Structure 1
Amino acid sequence: MVTAATRVASRFSLQLTFVLFLCVVVVTLFAALLTAPQRDEIGEFYLGNRTLSPLRNGLAMSGDYLSAATLLGSTGLVALTGYDGLLYLAGTTVAWMAVLLVIAEPLHNAGRFTLGDTLALRLTRLRRPVRLAVVLCTLVVTTLYLVAQLIGGVALLTQFTGEPNQATRTLCVVVIGTIVVVYAALGGMPGATFIQVVKAVMLVAGVAVTAVIVLARFHWNVAALLSAAERNSGLGQRFLEPGLRYGRGTTSKLDFFSLELAIVLGLAALPHVVMRLLAPRTNRVLRTSAVWAMGLVGFVCLAAGVVGLGATAVLGRETIVRIDPKGDAAVLLLAQSLGGGVLTAAISCLAFVTLLAVAAGLTLAAATSLAHDLYGEVVRRGRATQTEELGVARMSAAVIGVLAMLLALLPWEISTASLAFLAFAIAASALLPALVYGLFWRLFTAWGALLSLYGGLICSVLLVVFSPVVSSRPTSVYPHADFAWFPLQNPGIVSIPAGFLLGWLGSVLSGRQEDGSYEDFEVRTLIGAGRNGEP
């Protein structure tokens, strides 16, 4: 049997990938330590240097969102499914528009460090239970997404070495996890911002160069590229028409809609994205940063589409499927074909750095929630000193990193995509309803927040447990069992409305309004008066 290792990467490209990765890690670790907070101030650790330019903020925002799944999974999806893969990329781009138009500015004006701060300011009753619920949802979302990144590192290693043994797998997870913990625990937001900016620049440059090489091969004729992709797909016109993957039946169409709904709405409530939206000092910088981020994400997705079509046009769909049925190796195979070992090594190094950067942001968000919301506000009731809270944050980063490493090493057969999509679904079903209601609905109460947070979380998890992700299919975690009474792999189409409904129901049935004035809070969301103690 031909393995991915014999086709995707030569020994030279493997060695060059290791050298490039080591150089990037050493440079970014050194820079993260240099830019780390020099004072025991939680504001600097949580939000970093708030005087960054809109371009650097935009690069960091796009870096937080664009993961290795965009580089490997999305291009592979386009290479295997054509039109349906391009439609998926379009949903990834649209997600930032929802953030920019609806959430960004009100959240920035009303927030401080975390989503828990925003809800505590809005809801004057039951603040501690609400913060505790936010912490739980935040930890579940960030841990799932973080585990997906670590498992993705092993999957990427597989493209070079074949299926790794347990010792190699453990070493890969521990090395990546340890580097991530150092980024988050020592560098804080300044260190995480630096690696995100570096990663975003590398990602934009990497996909742009690859897309340019693909287009140059077809003489800058997009029609010729599409014709070659259609011809080499082995599927004819169906490759460029909807329905190849997501249109086989009503269930498949609903599953795709559910997935896109979770991606578009979940982005606005991902904890590390929320922290990034709170970092700019002024609304003007925030708006320009979000526009930069939206443009960069759109450009990367467009280039990823060109690369995916190029992989099919140059290599042929059957070749990609034979080496990697999921298509994750498509961009590496294309790089090997177009640029040899050098381009393969560059793309591979880029994928590893992308994993590190996203994982660092997730670890920092989880540590911030534990230290600030749980320890500082729930346990210590706001009486913790900044030095004390900062120490807890750094310790929490280590704990989260170790937990994610242990979960990533469990012998469960679940795809990284399923974990990431579940994280998006929970964010959209639990955190987003509480955030939207808290910002825009004057009748929202603490009971509504608790019901939406816990209800959205439980609903999302239960639907996935009783879905084909866990049982009834050859690709399921338990393929020989069958308790999948929920037919969709993505729960968002049910769990997101359920989260909003529970938030409304809890507020209506609680029978009382909050003690604070919504009018004062509304003014704050509009003009930002008193944010972070500023006039």
Structure 2
Amino acid sequence: MVTTAAGVVDRFSLQLTFLLFLSVVVVTLFTALLLAPQRDEISEFYLGNREMTPLRNGLAMCGDYISAATLLGSTGLVALTGYDGLLYLCGTAVAWMTVLLLIAEPLHNAGRFTLGDTLALRLTQGRRSVRLALSLCTLAVTTLYLVAQLVGSVALLTQFTGEPSATTRTLCVVVIGTVVIVYAAIGGMPGATFIQIVKAVMLISGIAVTAVMVLHHFHWNLDALLGSAADNSGLGTRYLEPGLRYGASTASKLDFLSLQLAIVFGLAALPHVMMRLLAPRTTRVLRSSVVWAMGLVGFVCLAAGILGLGATAVVGRATIEQTDRRGDSAVLLLAHQLGGGVLTALLSCLAFVTLLAVASGLTLAAASSLAHDFWGEVIRKGRAEQTEELVVARLAAVVIGVLGMLLALVSWGANTATLAFLAFAIAASAILPTLVYTLFWRRFNATGALLSLCGGLLCSVLLVVFSPVVSSTPASFYPDADFAWFPLQNPGIVSIPAGFLLGWLGTVTARREEPDTYDEFQVKALVGAE
């Protein structure tokens, strides 16, 4: 977390940020209430208005994926580590290729409201147990990512006020969490989509303006930008060469590969992203939406790289590291140098809105899985009325939001990046193997799905528990303890193959599914026909 005792942003920026954030929240809350489902139909709550254009869908997908970690954490990583930070951004930019080429179209054709519907259509034997296991994995992924967003809101507040008191932390988390609950519980998918579009437009505009200011500062000369960044890094040309963070040892190289695997494959299995893939009415709109999302995310990552280099070139790596050892303050320090309090306030407000939007999508995805998969299909065995399921979905959103707030307050001091990367690793290790096997392997069965889901989840969590994230280093949760026998901070390089292996093992040792089931499913998934 931030190590300074005082905030890095002046009082004017704090007041302007609060005014801008309050204005955005009021406008979006009012609009979300207007757009909220007016009928007791679960399809409208889960998927919203399915008549949106590809651009609006692409903006919503971009908004779902890009979190404050990209705006603050990724720019800070570039500012502190140079080439290695830019290499990290490449994985973020290309992750959507997995979605487009592998799962987007078959999942859209075979899905209904959640991934559980796709699995139940394919795995007719034991489908309720599979839905239950999937709900557990969905809850784990979304809760971890939600807690990361709420903890991140306190970390962002720290940039203004310094180390906050317990009362201030609680107030910040409760306010953000309450707004998130309203978006998800009342607005449903229409409300969440609106805030995602607003957030995406603000994010793209804000970082584009700031990136242009950075390039203008160096007279649009990239060589001058890179040279100044190297000079002010205190590292010389090493700053622009690989190995500053991830190449120092074999373990660090493996850790970077593990992280990139989790990001690239985890995106394709994040529950709130998969819900977004089901929203377009036609596959043509879906394809165009994903292409738009890829382009917008790529632009954001390019701009984040420019901002990171600009922060080092203008502010200096030593100043950034002294202010915040993780670099989260880099973009705010850069904004203050280039645009004063106004630009700082704009980017700070943008970061808060980004946290709010991503948390809303996560809460809605968790509530949908609990209401539809767990309550509607496992508990009520498909006999729940739409009104009943809608009430359960809204109550589930409240419960998930409150749970996220409590865990965020308990987890104060946790590394938000670690929580987010663990969520990606679980999604890539448990949900993705199940989804890939479901879509493309004829022999796959419910036993394989259960082993893949539960085994991937358990493997990811256990490897992190026995890693340097939890013990053995000064930055660990328990720095004085030492039970870290797994050397990497991200488990993806082991847990992702383990998830696929367990899915295969469960399948080949259990009874086959009915032979006609896969043929019927394949027609629907690949062609879209009934």
TM-score, normalised via structure 2 length: 0.99
Shift of 1:527: 1.6
Q: Which residue of 2 aligns with 1:284?
A: 284
Equivalent residues in 2 for 1:2-17, closer than 5 Å: 8-17=8-17
Equivalent residues in 2 for 1:106-505, closer than 5 Å: 106-411=106-411, 413-505=413-505
For 2:304 and 2:40, the matched residues in 1 are separated by 42
Shift of 1:359: 0.1
Q: Percent identity?
A: 78
Query: Which residue type is aligned with residue 460 of structure 1?
Result: S
Matched-pair contact (CA < 8 Å) for 2:151–2:411: no
For 2:109 and 2:5, the matched residues in 1 are separated by 50
Shift of 1:423: 0.1
For 1:527 and 1:515, the matched residues in 2 are separated by 19
Cα distance change of structure 1 residues 516 and 395 upon mapping to structure 2, 3 Å threshold: farther
SS of equivalent to 2:268: helix
Shift of 1:317: 0.3
Q: Deviations over 1:18-67 (max 9, x none)?
A: 00000000000000000010000000000011000000000000000000
Q: Deviations over 1:227-256 (max 9, x none)?
A: 000010000111000000000100000000
SS of equivalent to 2:509: helix
SS of equivalent to 1:471: coil
Q: Which residue of 1 aligns with 2:49?
A: 49
Q: 1:517 and 2:514 equivalent?
A: no
Query: Which residue type is aligned with residue 334 of structure 2?
Result: L
Q: Deviations over 1:291-340 (max 9, x none)?
A: 00000000000000000000000011001011111100000000001000
SS of equivalent to 1:38: coil
For 1:100 and 1:156, the matched residues in 2 are separated by 33
SS of equivalent to 2:124: coil
For 1:494 and 1:399, the matched residues in 2 are separated by 33
Q: 1:71 and 2:71 equivalent?
A: yes
Matched-pair contact (CA < 8 Å) for 2:472–2:483: yes
For 2:7 and 2:458, the matched residues in 1 are separated by 43
For 1:284 and 1:345, the matched residues in 2 are separated by 39
TM-score, normalised via structure 1 length: 0.98
Cα distance change of structure 1 residues 23 and 385 upon mapping to structure 2, 3 Å threshold: same
For 2:135 and 2:95, the matched residues in 1 are separated by 24
Deviation >6 Å, runs of 4+: none
For 2:269 and 2:434, the matched residues in 1 are separated by 10
Query: Which residue type is aligned with residue 299 of structure 2?
Result: F
Shift of 1:516: 4.6
Shift of 1:5: 7.5
Cα distance change of structure 1 residues 130 and 342 upon mapping to structure 2, 3 Å threshold: same
For 2:39 and 2:512, the matched residues in 1 are separated by 44
Shift of 1:512: 2.4
Query: Which residue type is aligned with residue 87 of structure 2?
Result: L
For 2:483 and 2:12, the matched residues in 1 are separated by 47
Matched-pair contact (CA < 8 Å) for 2:109–2:524: yes
Q: Deviations over 1:337-360 (max 9, x none)?
A: 100000000000000000000000
Matched-pair contact (CA < 8 Å) for 1:412–1:477: no
SS of equivalent to 2:407: helix
Cα distance change of structure 1 residues 438 and 3 upon mapping to structure 2, 3 Å threshold: closer
Query: Which residue type is aligned with residue 296 of structure 2?
Result: L
- For structure 1, the 5+ residue unaligned runs are 531-535
For 1:372 and 1:5, the matched residues in 2 are separated by 46
For 2:9 and 2:242, the matched residues in 1 are separated by 33
For 1:218 and 1:413, the matched residues in 2 are separated by 37
Matched-pair contact (CA < 8 Å) for 2:21–2:349: yes
For 2:9 and 2:304, the matched residues in 1 are separated by 20
Q: How many residues align?
A: 529
Cα distance change of structure 1 residues 411 and 370 upon mapping to structure 2, 3 Å threshold: closer
SS of equivalent to 1:517: helix
Q: Deviations over 1:401-426 (max 9, x none)?
A: 00000000015542000000000000
Matched-pair contact (CA < 8 Å) for 2:151–2:412: no
Shift of 1:520: 1.0
For 2:128 and 2:137, the matched residues in 1 are separated by 14
Query: Which residue type is aligned with residue 429 of structure 1?
Result: S
Q: Which residue of 2 aligns with 1:29?
A: 29
SS of equivalent to 2:38: coil
Query: Which residue type is aligned with residue 212 of structure 1?
Result: V
SS of equivalent to 1:8: coil
Cα distance change of structure 1 residues 286 and 3 upon mapping to structure 2, 3 Å threshold: same
Matched-pair contact (CA < 8 Å) for 1:123–1:514: no
Matched-pair contact (CA < 8 Å) for 2:125–2:513: no
For 1:414 and 1:165, the matched residues in 2 are separated by 16
Q: Which residue of 2 aligns with 1:533?
A: none
Q: Which residue of 1 aligns with 2:91?
A: 91
Shift of 1:8: 2.6
Matched-pair contact (CA < 8 Å) for 1:413–1:476: no
For 1:179 and 1:129, the matched residues in 2 are separated by 34
Query: Which residue type is aligned with residue 441 of structure 1?
Result: W
Q: Deviations over 1:449-481 (max 9, x none)?
A: 000000000000000000000000000000000
SS of equivalent to 2:410: coil
For 1:50 and 1:336, the matched residues in 2 are separated by 41
Shift of 1:194: 0.0
Q: Deviations over 1:425-447 (max 9, x none)?
A: 00000000000000000010100
For 1:375 and 1:411, the matched residues in 2 are separated by 29
Matched-pair contact (CA < 8 Å) for 1:122–1:516: no
Matched-pair contact (CA < 8 Å) for 1:125–1:515: no
For 1:6 and 1:20, the matched residues in 2 are separated by 23
Shift of 1:7: 6.3
SS of equivalent to 2:471: coil
Shift of 1:526: 1.2
For 2:436 and 2:362, the matched residues in 1 are separated by 22
Q: CA RMSD in A?
A: 1.1
